Every structure is written in structure tokens, then in C-alpha cells.
Amino acid sequence: MATDELAIADDEKHALITSKVISSHAITKKASAVINHLRAQRADGKTAVYCFRAQSSVVNKLISIVEIAKRELLKDNTRIYQYNALCAQTITVKGRAATANDQDNAEGDSDAFQTMAEPDKTRKAPVLSVYLARASIKKLKDLYG
């Protein structure tokens, strides 16, 4: 959990739901989930906050989900506050294992050519977080404007 999520998750005023968007998720199911969460009146009086997180490869799906949800909520004259955060996440990319070259084995030069093993690589991948709420959240506004 990112530090911004911790800031509002520990808060007694907000009910935070975090959802990760991946390529196999259906856009309509995610959009209807956020619409239902934001439309519902909470009995405990907490402000409903929905956070979507997506890596760079599926940001287009995240944006579609958010825009569909906002469009549906605006039809009911529901005011929506959106906060966007771009951060980096460290991922590990697996290297290739060492293998013998199969084409050279037919000629009898199996010892001459081999593929070297590649070590695992650590990379920083961009992650977009989008927060949707029905009320302004001062902590998120201070962080993201």
C-alpha cells in the first residue's frame, strides 16, 4: 500500500476501497462496482473513496473505467472529485536460462556456441492511481492538487 493510501486508510472519516486493474478485467464490471460504491449512503457516515491502480500497460483500461463511472454518476447530478497520482513500482524481470544452440548441434559444433544465462533485472514500472470520491478530501488534495 502506498503512503497516500495509508494516509486516508487510517482516517476514520473515509471508507477506502482499492482495486487493481489488470488486462483480463471487464470494464463494465469495474465501472459498475465503483458506481455502486459511490452511490451507496454509508450508515457509519464515512466518505466513500474508490482507488484504482494500474500499471502502464493497462492505463487505457483504467481511464475508460473512470470515465464511464464519472459519466454515469454525473447523470444523477452527483458531484465527483478525482485525484490522480503517478508513482513507480519496482518489478523484477526474469532473465533467460542458458541453453545450447539447437541448429549448431546438427553440425557437431555443440560446444562452440551456447546461449549465456542472463541475470534477473530490476526495473521501475510506472503505476497510475486514480481516486474517486463524492466529497473533497483534504489529504489527497494537498498531495495531488
pLDDT-based confidence at 21, cuts 50/70/90?
Answer: very high
pLDDT of residue 2 exceeding 60: no
Query: Whole-number mean pLDDT of the chain?
Result: 83
pLDDT-based confidence at 42, cuts 50/70/90?
Answer: confident
Tell me the domains of the chain and their CATH numbers.
3-88+126-144 (3.30.110.20)
Helices (H), the chain: 3-9, 27-39, 59-75, 102-105, 138-144
pLDDT of residue 64 exceeding 60: yes
**How much is the pLDDT for 116?**
80
Mean pLDDT of 9-23: 80
Cα–Cα distances in Å, from 145 out to 26, 34, 97, 137, 140? Answer: 30, 22, 46, 10, 7
Kindly give the pairing relationship between strand 121-133 and strand 81-93: antiparallel
What digits encode the pLDDT tens for the residues 88-123?
989 888 877 776 555 544 555 556 667 788 888 898
C-alpha cell at 120: 534477473
**How much is the pLDDT for 111?**
62
What digits encode the pLDDT tens for the residues 43-61?
788 888 899 999 989 999 9
Helix axes 27-39, 59-75, angle to 10 degrees: 40
**How much is the pLDDT for 145?**
74
pLDDT-based confidence at 139, cuts 50/70/90?
Answer: confident
